[in-house]
Every structure is written in structure tokens, then in C-alpha cells.
Amino acid sequence: MIKYIKEIFSDIWNLLLGMKITMINFIRPKVTEQYPENRGKKQPFERFRGELVIPHNENNEHKCTGCGICMINCPNHTINVITNQITTEDGKTKKVLDKYMYDLGSCTFCGLCTQVCPQKAISWTPNFEHAVFTRSKLVKQLNHPGSKMEEKKVAAPAAAPKKEGEGNETNVQQ
Ligand code: SF4
Ligand code: SF4
């Protein structure tokens, strides 16, 4: 009998807890986004994956080497990296990016491509307005026309660390 009464009070308590949450949400100020009226007033959160891009600098240069690692790792075959072979001034053959094609319509925004890129050449923009009338318009070339790969600034080699005892000649002579 005591167990039965305890269960009744326990159930009432759980019911009240549920009603409390309902009431809190009932009186909480409503947040209704008036989209598209509020367009431009609010930004998606920082890590929002809206659209894949290849950032270019002011000289129309990007960091993509055309290695294709992002394309190989994309589970949806969303990326198509088309490269050309060129001959450099010193006679060497080099692979360069021709077209970086991205099909936004098949992208799941998983982020694998940006994670595996060794050059950090691709990133996300918060742009989420992608409505078009034909799916073919969602296939985009991400490298800008006439762009080329950014020249790497070769850092001066760091001085080798001195071994113990090296560089103390002056002290030895003294
Ligand atoms: S975006 Fe990165 S991983 Fe993809 S081809 Fe360019 S350098 Fe390679
Ligand atoms: S986010 Fe995922 S699906 Fe989209 S291009 Fe990158 S790897 Fe492919």
C-alpha cells in the first residue's frame, strides 16, 4: 500500500516537472526570424558551412596545387580537380590547377575536403542562399579565371642548433 502511494506522488511530481518546462517555454519571448526581411542583419554562426570556396589573394592567387586529395576523399564525388602539365623555366614538368569544379547540389557539407587539404586552400563561406532553377547552375568553378598558384615564400633556413661546447672557443682561450 505504501509503495502504491509513493508511486502516485512520484508520478505527480514528474507530471509537475514536465508542466514546469512547458510553462517556461510558453512564457519565453518568441524568436521568429523574419527572413528574408532580416537579410543581412544576422550572420550564421562562425563555423557554418554555407558554400565551399577557394580564397584568392589581391593578386588573384590561390593556394591549391591541384593535388586532388580533396577530390579523392569526397564521398559524393562532388569535387572534380582538373589539372594541366606545364614546363617551368628550368625545364621541369609541373602539374598546375586548371579548373576546380564543385557541385554544390551534391555536397553534404561534411567538411572532409577542407580537413584533408594539405595547403588549407579551400574553406567555407556563410552564404546559404543557393536557390536556382536548374541544378546545373549549382556546379561552380571555384578558381577564378586567370588565377594562378600563390608563390611560396621560402623562409631562410634556420641556423643549426649549436652543440654543447661549440661556440665557446673564446671562453677556452681565456
Ligand atoms: S584544394 Fe587542397 S587538397 Fe584539393 S586539390 Fe587543392 S591543394 Fe589539393
Ligand atoms: S563537404 Fe563533403 S561532400 Fe562536400 S565537397 Fe567536401 S568532402 Fe565532398
Report yes or no on 21 lying in a domain: yes
Give the per-residue pLDDT at 31: 84
pLDDT band at 34 (very low <50, low <70, confident <90, very high): confident
Report yes or no on 126 lying in a domain: yes
Give the tens place of pLDDT for each residue, 9-20.
999 999 999 999
Domain count, the chain: 2
Report yes or no on 85 lying in a domain: yes
DSSP 54: -
In this structure, are residues 142 and 122 in contact, taking their beta carbons and an 8 Å threshold?
Answer: yes
Ligand 2 within 6 A of CB of 109: yes
**What distance in angstroms lies between residue 121's CA and the mean position of ligand 1's atoms?**
6
| Pairing between β-strand 148-149 and β-strand 61-62 as defined by DSSP bridges | parallel
Same domain for 58 and 2:
no
- Ligand 1: which residue has its CA nearest to atom 4? 70
Q: 132 is in which domain, residue-wise?
A: 51-149
Q: Under DSSP, is residue 86 helix (H, G, I), strand (E, B) or coil?
A: strand
Question: In one letter, which amino acid is 135?
Answer: R
Q: What is the CATH number of the domain that holds 106?
A: 3.30.70.3270
Same domain for 59 and 145:
yes
